[in-house]
Chains A and B, each alone.
Chain A
Amino acid sequence: MLTEEEKKEIQEEIKQYPYPAVACIDALKIVQNHRGWVSDESVRDIAQLLSISNEEVDSVATFYSRIYRKPVGRNVILICDSVSCMILGYESLYNYISKKIGVSFGGTTSDGRFTLLPISCLGDCDNAPVMMINNDHFNRLTIEKIDELLDRYK
Protein backbone atom coordinates (compact mmCIF):
# COMPACT_ATOMS: atom_id res chain seq x y z
CA MET A 1 0.00 0.00 0.00
CA LEU A 2 1.24 3.45 -0.85
CA THR A 3 1.28 5.88 2.01
CA GLU A 4 -0.91 8.93 1.90
CA GLU A 5 2.18 11.04 1.50
CA GLU A 6 3.41 9.04 -1.47
CA LYS A 7 -0.01 9.21 -3.05
CA LYS A 8 -0.18 12.94 -2.56
CA GLU A 9 3.21 13.49 -4.12
CA ILE A 10 2.31 11.32 -7.10
CA GLN A 11 -1.03 13.07 -7.56
CA GLU A 12 0.86 16.34 -7.56
CA GLU A 13 2.97 15.12 -10.49
CA ILE A 14 -0.04 13.80 -12.37
CA LYS A 15 -1.55 17.29 -12.39
CA GLN A 16 1.27 18.52 -14.60
CA TYR A 17 0.62 16.04 -17.37
CA PRO A 18 -1.99 15.38 -20.02
CA TYR A 19 -2.66 11.87 -18.65
CA PRO A 20 -1.65 9.98 -15.50
CA ALA A 21 0.62 7.39 -17.14
CA VAL A 22 3.12 10.18 -17.86
CA ALA A 23 3.83 10.32 -14.16
CA CYS A 24 5.11 6.74 -14.15
CA ILE A 25 8.79 7.59 -13.74
CA ASP A 26 8.00 10.26 -11.17
CA ALA A 27 5.89 7.80 -9.22
CA LEU A 28 8.65 5.21 -9.22
CA LYS A 29 11.10 7.81 -8.01
CA ILE A 30 8.78 9.03 -5.30
CA VAL A 31 8.25 5.53 -3.97
CA GLN A 32 11.95 4.80 -4.11
CA ASN A 33 12.65 8.03 -2.30
CA HIS A 34 10.52 6.87 0.57
CA ARG A 35 11.45 3.21 0.63
CA GLY A 36 14.84 2.95 -0.93
CA TRP A 37 13.60 0.64 -3.66
CA VAL A 38 10.51 -0.40 -5.60
CA SER A 39 8.97 -3.70 -4.58
CA ASP A 40 6.59 -5.87 -6.63
CA GLU A 41 3.83 -4.63 -4.41
CA SER A 42 4.74 -1.02 -5.10
CA VAL A 43 4.70 -1.71 -8.82
CA ARG A 44 1.13 -2.94 -8.45
CA ASP A 45 0.15 0.02 -6.32
CA ILE A 46 1.60 2.50 -8.77
CA ALA A 47 -0.12 0.71 -11.65
CA GLN A 48 -3.42 1.02 -9.89
CA LEU A 49 -2.95 4.66 -9.08
CA LEU A 50 -2.02 5.53 -12.65
CA SER A 51 -4.69 3.25 -14.16
CA ILE A 52 -2.16 1.30 -16.16
CA SER A 53 -1.12 -2.34 -15.99
CA ASN A 54 1.59 -3.83 -13.81
CA GLU A 55 3.33 -4.71 -17.03
CA GLU A 56 3.40 -1.09 -18.11
CA VAL A 57 4.89 0.08 -14.85
CA ASP A 58 7.49 -2.65 -14.71
CA SER A 59 8.47 -2.15 -18.32
CA VAL A 60 9.46 1.39 -17.41
CA ALA A 61 10.87 0.52 -14.00
CA THR A 62 13.23 -2.10 -15.36
CA PHE A 63 14.51 0.19 -18.09
CA TYR A 64 15.99 2.84 -15.86
CA SER A 65 19.17 2.11 -13.99
CA ARG A 66 18.39 4.35 -11.04
CA ILE A 67 15.16 2.56 -10.23
CA TYR A 68 15.98 -0.30 -7.90
CA ARG A 69 13.70 -3.30 -8.24
CA LYS A 70 15.62 -5.18 -5.57
CA PRO A 71 16.11 -4.09 -1.98
CA VAL A 72 19.13 -1.92 -1.24
CA GLY A 73 20.86 -1.03 1.99
CA ARG A 74 20.24 2.12 3.97
CA ASN A 75 23.05 3.80 2.11
CA VAL A 76 23.91 3.29 -1.52
CA ILE A 77 27.50 3.80 -2.54
CA LEU A 78 27.87 4.54 -6.23
CA ILE A 79 31.41 4.40 -7.52
CA CYS A 80 32.02 5.87 -10.93
CA ASP A 81 33.64 3.19 -13.06
CA SER A 82 33.85 5.16 -16.29
CA VAL A 83 36.95 5.93 -18.22
CA SER A 84 38.36 9.05 -16.57
CA CYS A 85 37.88 7.56 -13.14
CA MET A 86 39.43 4.35 -14.37
CA ILE A 87 42.51 6.24 -15.51
CA LEU A 88 42.70 7.90 -12.14
CA GLY A 89 42.33 4.58 -10.37
CA TYR A 90 38.75 3.97 -9.29
CA GLU A 91 39.68 0.30 -9.09
CA SER A 92 41.88 0.65 -6.03
CA LEU A 93 39.15 2.74 -4.46
CA TYR A 94 36.64 0.03 -5.20
CA ASN A 95 38.90 -2.70 -3.91
CA TYR A 96 39.41 -0.83 -0.71
CA ILE A 97 35.74 -0.16 -0.09
CA SER A 98 34.71 -3.59 -1.17
CA LYS A 99 37.13 -5.17 1.26
CA LYS A 100 36.22 -2.82 4.03
CA ILE A 101 32.48 -3.41 3.88
CA GLY A 102 32.79 -6.97 2.68
CA VAL A 103 30.65 -6.88 -0.44
CA SER A 104 31.39 -6.48 -4.13
CA PHE A 105 29.45 -4.56 -6.77
CA GLY A 106 25.80 -5.46 -6.54
CA GLY A 107 26.04 -6.56 -2.94
CA THR A 108 24.45 -5.32 0.26
CA THR A 109 26.13 -5.68 3.62
CA SER A 110 24.49 -8.16 5.94
CA ASP A 111 23.58 -5.41 8.40
CA GLY A 112 21.82 -3.56 5.58
CA ARG A 113 24.01 -0.55 6.02
CA PHE A 114 25.53 -0.33 2.55
CA THR A 115 24.81 -1.38 -0.96
CA LEU A 116 27.72 -1.05 -3.34
CA LEU A 117 27.02 -0.28 -7.00
CA PRO A 118 28.97 0.92 -10.00
CA ILE A 119 27.69 3.98 -11.82
CA SER A 120 28.76 5.41 -15.10
CA CYS A 121 30.42 8.79 -15.45
CA LEU A 122 29.20 11.29 -12.87
CA GLY A 123 30.21 14.31 -14.93
CA ASP A 124 33.02 15.39 -12.68
CA CYS A 125 35.89 13.85 -14.62
CA ASP A 126 38.32 16.64 -13.95
CA ASN A 127 38.01 15.76 -10.29
CA ALA A 128 38.29 11.98 -10.68
CA PRO A 129 37.90 9.59 -9.01
CA VAL A 130 34.36 10.32 -8.01
CA MET A 131 31.60 8.61 -6.12
CA MET A 132 28.20 9.26 -4.63
CA ILE A 133 26.77 8.07 -1.38
CA ASN A 134 23.01 8.43 -1.50
CA ASN A 135 22.54 11.94 -2.85
CA ASP A 136 25.93 13.26 -1.81
CA HIS A 137 28.72 13.75 -4.29
CA PHE A 138 32.42 13.25 -3.47
CA ASN A 139 35.40 13.84 -5.72
CA ARG A 140 39.19 13.73 -5.81
CA LEU A 141 38.92 10.70 -3.62
CA THR A 142 41.83 8.97 -2.05
CA ILE A 143 41.82 5.82 -0.02
CA GLU A 144 42.75 7.88 3.01
CA LYS A 145 39.48 9.80 2.84
CA ILE A 146 37.28 6.76 2.60
CA ASP A 147 37.16 5.63 6.23
CA GLU A 148 36.07 8.97 7.48
CA LEU A 149 33.57 9.32 4.66
CA LEU A 150 31.88 6.01 5.24
CA ASP A 151 31.69 6.70 8.95
CA ARG A 152 29.22 9.46 8.24
CA TYR A 153 26.71 6.96 6.91
CA LYS A 154 25.16 4.74 9.51
Chain B
Amino acid sequence: MERPLTKHIKPGSVSLNMKDYIQLGGYGNLQKALKNIAPAEVTALVKASNLLGRGGAGFPTGVKWSLIPMDGDKSTPKYLVCNADEMEPGTFKDRYLLEGNPHQLIEGMIISAYAIQAGKAYIFLRWAYKKAEKILREAIADAYKSGYLGKNILGSGFNLDLYVHSSAGRYMCGEETALLNSLEGKRAMPRTKPPFPAISGLFGRPTVVNNVETLSWISHIVEHGAEWFKGLSLTPTGGTKLFGVSGRVKNPGTWELPLGISMRELLEEHAGGMTPGHKFRGALPGGASTDFLIEDHLDVKLDFSTVAAAGSRLGTGTMIVLDDKTCPVAFIHNVEKFFALESCGWCTPCREGLPWVEKMLASIEEGTGKMEYLDLLNFNAKFMGPGNTFCAHAPGAAEPLQSGLKYFHDDFVKHITDKKCPWR
Protein backbone atom coordinates (compact mmCIF):
# COMPACT_ATOMS: atom_id res chain seq x y z
CA MET B 1 0.00 0.00 0.00
CA GLU B 2 1.46 3.31 -1.05
CA ARG B 3 1.59 6.21 1.39
CA PRO B 4 3.04 9.02 -0.71
CA LEU B 5 2.12 11.84 1.65
CA THR B 6 3.33 10.38 4.88
CA LYS B 7 5.92 7.78 4.04
CA HIS B 8 8.74 10.13 4.93
CA ILE B 9 7.19 11.49 8.07
CA LYS B 10 9.27 10.30 10.93
CA PRO B 11 7.63 8.96 14.01
CA GLY B 12 7.51 11.12 17.13
CA SER B 13 6.63 14.20 15.10
CA VAL B 14 10.18 15.01 14.11
CA SER B 15 10.16 17.29 11.13
CA LEU B 16 11.78 16.28 7.88
CA ASN B 17 14.35 18.98 7.23
CA MET B 18 15.52 20.46 3.99
CA LYS B 19 18.60 18.31 3.69
CA ASP B 20 16.76 15.06 4.21
CA TYR B 21 13.92 16.15 1.99
CA ILE B 22 16.29 16.91 -0.86
CA GLN B 23 18.09 13.64 -0.34
CA LEU B 24 14.81 11.89 -0.86
CA GLY B 25 14.48 13.66 -4.21
CA GLY B 26 12.73 16.71 -2.86
CA TYR B 27 12.29 19.77 -5.07
CA GLY B 28 13.08 17.59 -8.09
CA ASN B 29 9.47 17.82 -9.16
CA LEU B 30 9.63 21.56 -8.90
CA GLN B 31 12.59 21.58 -11.26
CA LYS B 32 10.76 19.27 -13.58
CA ALA B 33 7.65 21.43 -13.60
CA LEU B 34 9.48 24.72 -14.06
CA LYS B 35 11.63 23.36 -16.84
CA ASN B 36 9.38 21.03 -18.75
CA ILE B 37 5.77 21.75 -18.05
CA ALA B 38 3.83 24.85 -19.01
CA PRO B 39 1.65 26.33 -16.30
CA ALA B 40 -1.57 25.39 -18.08
CA GLU B 41 -0.32 21.84 -18.41
CA VAL B 42 0.24 21.57 -14.68
CA THR B 43 -3.36 22.59 -14.19
CA ALA B 44 -4.45 20.11 -16.84
CA LEU B 45 -2.50 17.38 -15.10
CA VAL B 46 -4.12 18.13 -11.75
CA LYS B 47 -7.48 18.26 -13.43
CA ALA B 48 -6.85 14.90 -15.06
CA SER B 49 -5.91 13.39 -11.73
CA ASN B 50 -9.32 14.34 -10.34
CA LEU B 51 -7.71 15.43 -7.07
CA LEU B 52 -10.62 16.44 -4.88
CA GLY B 53 -9.94 19.16 -2.32
CA ARG B 54 -9.04 17.76 1.06
CA GLY B 55 -10.34 20.74 3.03
CA GLY B 56 -13.74 19.22 3.50
CA ALA B 57 -15.86 20.12 0.54
CA GLY B 58 -14.16 17.82 -1.97
CA PHE B 59 -14.17 20.28 -4.85
CA PRO B 60 -11.98 19.23 -7.82
CA THR B 61 -8.71 21.13 -7.45
CA GLY B 62 -7.86 21.28 -11.16
CA VAL B 63 -11.25 22.76 -11.94
CA LYS B 64 -10.73 25.41 -9.28
CA TRP B 65 -7.37 26.36 -10.78
CA SER B 66 -8.71 26.48 -14.28
CA LEU B 67 -11.10 29.28 -13.26
CA ILE B 68 -8.12 31.58 -12.78
CA PRO B 69 -7.85 33.95 -15.73
CA MET B 70 -4.51 33.21 -17.39
CA ASP B 71 -4.67 35.58 -20.32
CA GLY B 72 -5.30 38.77 -18.34
CA ASP B 73 -3.07 41.69 -17.64
CA LYS B 74 0.32 40.41 -16.48
CA SER B 75 0.58 43.18 -13.92
CA THR B 76 -2.53 41.99 -12.08
CA PRO B 77 -1.28 40.13 -9.07
CA LYS B 78 -2.57 36.66 -8.35
CA TYR B 79 -2.39 34.77 -5.12
CA LEU B 80 -2.19 31.26 -3.81
CA VAL B 81 -3.31 30.61 -0.26
CA CYS B 82 -2.81 27.47 1.73
CA ASN B 83 -5.59 26.88 4.19
CA ALA B 84 -3.91 25.58 7.31
CA ASP B 85 -6.47 26.87 9.74
CA GLU B 86 -7.69 23.43 10.78
CA MET B 87 -10.01 24.39 13.59
CA GLU B 88 -12.82 21.93 13.08
CA PRO B 89 -13.24 19.88 16.27
CA GLY B 90 -11.93 16.40 15.82
CA THR B 91 -9.64 17.36 12.96
CA PHE B 92 -5.90 16.94 13.26
CA LYS B 93 -4.58 15.80 9.92
CA ASP B 94 -3.04 19.00 8.54
CA ARG B 95 -1.01 19.45 11.67
CA TYR B 96 0.56 16.08 11.01
CA LEU B 97 1.61 17.10 7.49
CA LEU B 98 2.74 20.59 8.51
CA GLU B 99 4.93 19.39 11.32
CA GLY B 100 6.08 16.21 9.68
CA ASN B 101 6.92 17.25 6.13
CA PRO B 102 6.81 21.03 5.59
CA HIS B 103 8.82 20.96 2.36
CA GLN B 104 6.35 18.65 0.71
CA LEU B 105 3.78 21.41 1.20
CA ILE B 106 6.15 24.17 0.18
CA GLU B 107 7.19 22.38 -2.98
CA GLY B 108 3.56 21.69 -3.76
CA MET B 109 2.74 25.33 -3.24
CA ILE B 110 5.49 26.57 -5.50
CA ILE B 111 4.33 24.28 -8.29
CA SER B 112 0.72 25.30 -7.71
CA ALA B 113 1.61 28.98 -7.72
CA TYR B 114 3.50 28.39 -10.93
CA ALA B 115 0.47 26.70 -12.46
CA ILE B 116 -1.72 29.73 -11.83
CA GLN B 117 1.16 32.19 -12.17
CA ALA B 118 0.71 33.63 -8.69
CA GLY B 119 3.47 35.88 -7.44
CA LYS B 120 2.61 35.71 -3.78
CA ALA B 121 1.53 32.84 -1.62
CA TYR B 122 0.38 32.67 1.97
CA ILE B 123 0.07 29.88 4.43
CA PHE B 124 -2.84 30.82 6.67
CA LEU B 125 -1.94 29.00 9.83
CA ARG B 126 -3.98 28.32 12.86
CA TRP B 127 -2.94 30.37 15.87
CA ALA B 128 -2.47 27.37 18.11
CA TYR B 129 -0.05 25.60 15.79
CA LYS B 130 3.00 27.15 17.37
CA LYS B 131 5.30 24.27 16.60
CA ALA B 132 4.16 24.08 13.01
CA GLU B 133 4.68 27.82 12.72
CA LYS B 134 8.28 27.52 13.80
CA ILE B 135 8.91 24.60 11.49
CA LEU B 136 7.31 26.33 8.53
CA ARG B 137 9.19 29.58 9.03
CA GLU B 138 12.47 27.70 9.13
CA ALA B 139 11.57 25.59 6.13
CA ILE B 140 10.58 28.67 4.14
CA ALA B 141 13.82 30.42 5.06
CA ASP B 142 15.71 27.34 3.88
CA ALA B 143 13.76 27.28 0.65
CA TYR B 144 14.60 30.91 0.02
CA LYS B 145 18.25 30.20 0.69
CA SER B 146 18.25 27.39 -1.83
CA GLY B 147 16.60 29.52 -4.46
CA TYR B 148 13.28 27.68 -4.47
CA LEU B 149 11.55 30.86 -3.41
CA GLY B 150 12.10 34.49 -4.30
CA LYS B 151 13.07 35.94 -7.63
CA ASN B 152 13.74 33.89 -10.74
CA ILE B 153 13.29 30.50 -9.13
CA LEU B 154 15.82 27.99 -10.44
CA GLY B 155 16.48 30.28 -13.36
CA SER B 156 12.97 29.85 -14.70
CA GLY B 157 12.01 33.51 -14.54
CA PHE B 158 9.20 32.61 -12.17
CA ASN B 159 9.04 34.65 -8.94
CA LEU B 160 7.26 33.70 -5.78
CA ASP B 161 7.17 35.02 -2.25
CA LEU B 162 5.74 32.80 0.43
CA TYR B 163 4.55 34.09 3.79
CA VAL B 164 3.20 32.46 6.89
CA HIS B 165 0.27 34.28 8.41
CA SER B 166 -0.59 33.02 11.84
CA SER B 167 -4.24 33.62 12.63
CA ALA B 168 -5.77 35.37 15.61
CA GLY B 169 -8.11 32.52 16.35
CA ARG B 170 -11.53 31.84 14.93
CA TYR B 171 -13.01 28.82 13.21
CA MET B 172 -14.58 31.03 10.58
CA CYS B 173 -11.09 31.85 9.28
CA GLY B 174 -11.05 28.38 7.75
CA GLU B 175 -13.90 29.26 5.39
CA GLU B 176 -11.94 30.24 2.33
CA THR B 177 -13.48 33.66 1.72
CA ALA B 178 -13.49 34.60 5.41
CA LEU B 179 -9.87 33.56 5.38
CA LEU B 180 -9.19 36.09 2.63
CA ASN B 181 -10.83 38.85 4.65
CA SER B 182 -8.73 37.86 7.61
CA LEU B 183 -5.58 37.99 5.50
CA GLU B 184 -6.61 41.50 4.54
CA GLY B 185 -6.60 42.43 8.22
CA LYS B 186 -10.37 42.52 8.50
CA ARG B 187 -12.98 40.65 10.45
CA ALA B 188 -13.16 37.11 9.15
CA MET B 189 -16.59 37.41 7.58
CA PRO B 190 -17.36 35.13 4.68
CA ARG B 191 -17.87 36.71 1.29
CA THR B 192 -20.58 36.34 -1.27
CA LYS B 193 -20.02 33.63 -3.88
CA PRO B 194 -20.07 34.27 -6.78
CA PRO B 195 -17.69 35.90 -7.47
CA PHE B 196 -15.43 33.03 -6.50
CA PRO B 197 -11.92 33.74 -5.25
CA ALA B 198 -10.56 32.70 -8.63
CA ILE B 199 -12.17 35.84 -10.03
CA SER B 200 -11.96 38.16 -7.04
CA GLY B 201 -10.01 36.87 -4.09
CA LEU B 202 -7.32 38.40 -1.94
CA PHE B 203 -7.34 42.19 -2.44
CA GLY B 204 -9.91 41.62 -5.17
CA ARG B 205 -7.45 39.66 -7.30
CA PRO B 206 -7.58 36.10 -8.65
CA THR B 207 -6.79 33.71 -5.85
CA VAL B 208 -6.74 29.98 -5.23
CA VAL B 209 -7.31 28.65 -1.74
CA ASN B 210 -6.42 25.03 -1.09
CA ASN B 211 -6.05 22.85 1.91
CA VAL B 212 -2.66 21.69 3.24
CA GLU B 213 -3.31 18.10 2.27
CA THR B 214 -4.48 19.09 -1.19
CA LEU B 215 -1.35 21.12 -1.87
CA SER B 216 0.89 18.46 -0.41
CA TRP B 217 -0.22 16.20 -3.25
CA ILE B 218 0.88 18.41 -6.09
CA SER B 219 4.52 17.47 -6.38
CA HIS B 220 3.59 13.77 -6.24
CA ILE B 221 1.12 14.17 -9.05
CA VAL B 222 3.74 16.01 -11.10
CA GLU B 223 6.14 13.17 -10.42
CA HIS B 224 3.92 10.18 -11.03
CA GLY B 225 1.11 11.46 -13.19
CA ALA B 226 -2.65 11.48 -13.07
CA GLU B 227 -3.19 7.78 -13.72
CA TRP B 228 -0.97 6.79 -10.85
CA PHE B 229 -2.91 9.07 -8.55
CA LYS B 230 -6.23 7.66 -9.65
CA GLY B 231 -4.98 4.18 -9.03
CA LEU B 232 -4.20 4.87 -5.41
CA SER B 233 -7.77 4.68 -4.23
CA LEU B 234 -10.00 1.66 -3.89
CA THR B 235 -12.96 3.47 -5.40
CA PRO B 236 -12.78 5.67 -8.52
CA THR B 237 -12.17 8.85 -6.52
CA GLY B 238 -8.40 8.86 -6.71
CA GLY B 239 -5.64 9.13 -4.18
CA THR B 240 -5.04 8.23 -0.62
CA LYS B 241 -6.35 10.34 2.21
CA LEU B 242 -5.31 11.12 5.70
CA PHE B 243 -7.78 9.51 8.02
CA GLY B 244 -7.94 10.05 11.73
CA VAL B 245 -9.85 8.60 14.61
CA SER B 246 -10.38 10.13 18.01
CA GLY B 247 -12.57 9.19 20.93
CA ARG B 248 -12.55 6.04 23.01
CA VAL B 249 -10.70 3.79 20.65
CA LYS B 250 -7.68 1.70 21.56
CA ASN B 251 -5.33 3.39 19.21
CA PRO B 252 -6.42 6.89 18.20
CA GLY B 253 -4.30 8.44 15.46
CA THR B 254 -3.78 9.49 11.86
CA TRP B 255 -3.12 7.20 8.92
CA GLU B 256 -2.74 7.62 5.25
CA LEU B 257 -5.04 5.13 3.60
CA PRO B 258 -6.58 4.70 0.19
CA LEU B 259 -9.89 6.40 -0.31
CA GLY B 260 -12.58 3.79 -0.28
CA ILE B 261 -11.54 1.71 2.70
CA SER B 262 -14.48 0.86 4.86
CA MET B 263 -15.32 2.56 8.07
CA ARG B 264 -15.04 -0.76 9.85
CA GLU B 265 -11.54 -1.31 8.58
CA LEU B 266 -10.48 2.13 9.70
CA LEU B 267 -11.99 1.67 13.12
CA GLU B 268 -10.98 -1.86 13.79
CA GLU B 269 -7.72 -2.42 11.95
CA HIS B 270 -6.14 0.95 12.33
CA ALA B 271 -7.71 2.45 15.42
CA GLY B 272 -7.71 -0.92 17.13
CA GLY B 273 -11.40 -1.00 17.90
CA MET B 274 -13.10 0.45 20.93
CA THR B 275 -11.30 0.64 24.24
CA PRO B 276 -12.30 -2.27 26.41
CA GLY B 277 -15.59 -1.75 28.13
CA HIS B 278 -16.88 0.65 25.53
CA LYS B 279 -19.31 0.09 22.75
CA PHE B 280 -19.52 1.91 19.44
CA ARG B 281 -22.67 3.98 19.11
CA GLY B 282 -21.85 6.15 16.17
CA ALA B 283 -19.32 8.51 14.68
CA LEU B 284 -18.96 11.78 12.86
CA PRO B 285 -16.92 10.53 9.92
CA GLY B 286 -15.22 13.73 8.87
CA GLY B 287 -15.08 16.24 11.69
CA ALA B 288 -17.69 17.97 13.79
CA SER B 289 -19.66 19.32 10.84
CA THR B 290 -20.66 15.95 9.41
CA ASP B 291 -23.70 13.78 10.01
CA PHE B 292 -23.54 10.83 12.36
CA LEU B 293 -23.06 7.41 10.92
CA ILE B 294 -24.01 4.47 13.12
CA GLU B 295 -23.35 0.80 13.36
CA ASP B 296 -25.45 0.08 10.27
CA HIS B 297 -23.00 2.14 8.27
CA LEU B 298 -19.80 0.42 9.32
CA ASP B 299 -19.33 -1.06 5.88
CA VAL B 300 -19.69 2.23 4.11
CA LYS B 301 -16.69 2.93 1.98
CA LEU B 302 -14.93 6.08 2.95
CA ASP B 303 -14.79 8.29 -0.08
CA PHE B 304 -16.59 11.51 -0.93
CA SER B 305 -19.54 10.12 -2.86
CA THR B 306 -20.19 6.93 -0.92
CA VAL B 307 -20.26 8.67 2.42
CA ALA B 308 -22.56 11.27 0.95
CA ALA B 309 -24.86 8.53 -0.28
CA ALA B 310 -24.99 7.16 3.27
CA GLY B 311 -26.28 10.55 4.45
CA SER B 312 -23.11 12.10 5.74
CA ARG B 313 -19.94 13.68 4.41
CA LEU B 314 -16.36 12.54 4.25
CA GLY B 315 -15.41 16.07 5.29
CA THR B 316 -11.87 16.12 6.59
CA GLY B 317 -11.72 12.37 7.00
CA THR B 318 -11.09 12.59 10.71
CA MET B 319 -13.61 10.60 12.63
CA ILE B 320 -14.94 11.31 16.10
CA VAL B 321 -16.31 8.22 17.76
CA LEU B 322 -19.23 8.26 20.15
CA ASP B 323 -19.18 5.43 22.65
CA ASP B 324 -21.84 4.13 24.99
CA LYS B 325 -20.29 5.73 28.07
CA THR B 326 -20.61 9.18 26.55
CA CYS B 327 -23.94 10.93 26.56
CA PRO B 328 -24.99 11.65 22.97
CA VAL B 329 -26.86 14.75 24.09
CA ALA B 330 -23.76 16.06 25.82
CA PHE B 331 -21.72 15.16 22.73
CA ILE B 332 -24.06 17.06 20.43
CA HIS B 333 -24.37 19.90 22.90
CA ASN B 334 -20.62 20.25 22.97
CA VAL B 335 -20.43 20.40 19.21
CA GLU B 336 -23.28 22.86 18.84
CA LYS B 337 -21.88 25.08 21.54
CA PHE B 338 -18.70 25.25 19.53
CA PHE B 339 -20.57 26.25 16.39
CA ALA B 340 -22.69 28.80 18.26
CA LEU B 341 -19.55 30.42 19.66
CA GLU B 342 -17.83 30.44 16.32
CA SER B 343 -20.68 31.91 14.27
CA CYS B 344 -19.50 35.09 12.67
CA GLY B 345 -22.80 36.87 13.28
CA TRP B 346 -23.52 37.83 9.70
CA CYS B 347 -26.59 35.85 8.70
CA THR B 348 -29.73 35.30 10.71
CA PRO B 349 -30.27 31.53 10.80
CA CYS B 350 -26.77 30.89 12.08
CA ARG B 351 -26.48 33.82 14.45
CA GLU B 352 -29.89 33.28 16.04
CA GLY B 353 -30.53 29.60 15.41
CA LEU B 354 -27.34 28.20 16.92
CA PRO B 355 -27.61 29.88 20.33
CA TRP B 356 -31.20 28.73 20.53
CA VAL B 357 -30.15 25.18 19.73
CA GLU B 358 -27.35 25.38 22.22
CA LYS B 359 -29.67 26.60 24.96
CA MET B 360 -32.19 23.85 24.36
CA LEU B 361 -29.52 21.17 24.34
CA ALA B 362 -28.03 22.52 27.55
CA SER B 363 -31.45 22.52 29.08
CA ILE B 364 -32.17 18.93 28.01
CA GLU B 365 -28.80 17.82 29.30
CA GLU B 366 -29.48 19.49 32.63
CA GLY B 367 -32.86 17.82 32.91
CA THR B 368 -34.97 20.89 32.37
CA GLY B 369 -35.76 20.23 28.75
CA LYS B 370 -39.24 20.14 27.31
CA MET B 371 -40.68 17.74 24.77
CA GLU B 372 -41.36 20.64 22.40
CA TYR B 373 -37.64 21.19 22.18
CA LEU B 374 -37.29 18.10 20.04
CA ASP B 375 -39.46 19.69 17.39
CA LEU B 376 -37.74 22.99 17.82
CA LEU B 377 -34.33 21.37 17.46
CA ASN B 378 -35.42 19.73 14.24
CA PHE B 379 -36.95 22.98 13.14
CA ASN B 380 -33.69 24.83 13.72
CA ALA B 381 -31.63 22.14 12.03
CA LYS B 382 -33.75 22.61 8.94
CA PHE B 383 -33.73 26.38 9.33
CA MET B 384 -29.92 26.40 9.23
CA GLY B 385 -29.80 24.07 6.24
CA PRO B 386 -27.84 24.52 3.01
CA GLY B 387 -28.98 27.47 0.91
CA ASN B 388 -30.65 29.11 3.86
CA THR B 389 -27.47 30.59 5.23
CA PHE B 390 -24.72 32.77 3.86
CA CYS B 391 -21.91 30.26 4.23
CA ALA B 392 -21.47 26.60 5.10
CA HIS B 393 -20.89 27.10 8.82
CA ALA B 394 -24.44 26.71 10.07
CA PRO B 395 -25.36 23.97 7.60
CA GLY B 396 -22.30 22.14 8.92
CA ALA B 397 -23.55 22.61 12.45
CA ALA B 398 -26.95 21.30 11.44
CA GLU B 399 -25.52 17.97 10.32
CA PRO B 400 -24.59 16.34 13.63
CA LEU B 401 -27.73 17.87 15.12
CA GLN B 402 -30.23 16.53 12.63
CA SER B 403 -28.66 13.09 12.44
CA GLY B 404 -28.15 12.95 16.19
CA LEU B 405 -31.80 13.73 16.75
CA LYS B 406 -32.68 10.91 14.41
CA TYR B 407 -30.32 8.25 15.67
CA PHE B 408 -30.41 9.06 19.37
CA HIS B 409 -34.02 10.07 19.64
CA ASP B 410 -34.67 7.76 22.57
CA ASP B 411 -31.78 9.20 24.52
CA PHE B 412 -33.19 12.68 24.08
CA VAL B 413 -36.61 11.58 25.19
CA LYS B 414 -35.18 9.82 28.22
CA HIS B 415 -33.39 12.99 29.30
CA ILE B 416 -36.64 14.87 29.13
CA THR B 417 -38.90 12.34 30.77
CA ASP B 418 -36.40 11.45 33.50
CA LYS B 419 -35.54 15.13 33.94
CA LYS B 420 -31.89 14.20 34.12
CA CYS B 421 -29.00 12.95 32.09
CA PRO B 422 -28.79 9.16 32.38
CA TRP B 423 -25.00 9.36 32.10
CA ARG B 424 -24.53 11.67 35.06
Chain A residues near B (Cβ < 8 Å): 16-18, 21-26, 28-29, 59-60, 63-67, 78, 81-84, 86-88, 119-128, 132, 135-137
Contact = CB atoms under 8 A, between A and B. Distances in A.
B320 A83 contact: yes
B258 to A, nearest CB: 20
Given A66-B168, A83-B89, A123 B129 contact: yes
Interface in B45-100: 86-92, 94-95
Nearest to B94: A123
A48 to B, nearest CB: 16
A31 B202 CA distance: 25
B254 interface: yes
A8 B131 CA distance: 25
A28 B126 CA distance: 16
A97 B312 CA distance: 37
Interface of B: 86-92, 94-95, 126-131, 163, 166-171, 182, 184-188, 203, 244-248, 252-254, 288, 318, 320-323, 326, 330-331, 334-335, 338, 341-342, 344
Contacts of B338: 82-83, 120-121
Contacts of A24: 185-186
B168 A122 contact: no
A25 B181 CA distance: 11
A25 B168 contact: yes
Contacts of A28: 168
Contacts of B88: 121
Contact of A23 (B91, B185, B244, B320): B185
Between A21, A86, A119, the greatest number of chain B beta carbons within 10 A of the residue's beta carbon is seen for: A86
B91 A125 contact: yes
A60 B185 contact: yes
Contacts of A122: 128
Given A83-B335, A125-B320, A120 B171 contact: yes
Contact of B130 (A21, A29, A59, A135): A135
A26 B165 CA distance: 9
Top 8 nearest A-B pairs by Cβ distance?
A66-B169, A125-B246, A64-B168, A126-B252, A121-B89, A82-B89, A22-B185, A24-B185
A120 B87 contact: yes
Given A25-B168, A82-B89, 8 more contacts: A63-B188, A64-B168, A82-B338, A83-B338, A86-B331, A124-B95, A126-B92, A126-B254
Given A17-B185, A65-B170, A124-B95, A88 B248 contact: yes
Nearest to B287: A121
Contacts of A87: 246-248, 320-323, 326, 331
Contacts of B344: 63
A25 B331 CA distance: 33
B124 to A, nearest CB: 11
A83 B91 contact: no
Given A25-B182, A126-B252, A60 B187 contact: yes
A35 B148 CA distance: 37
Contacts of B187: 59-60, 63
Nearest to A118: B341
Contacts of B326: 86-87
Nearest to A119: B128
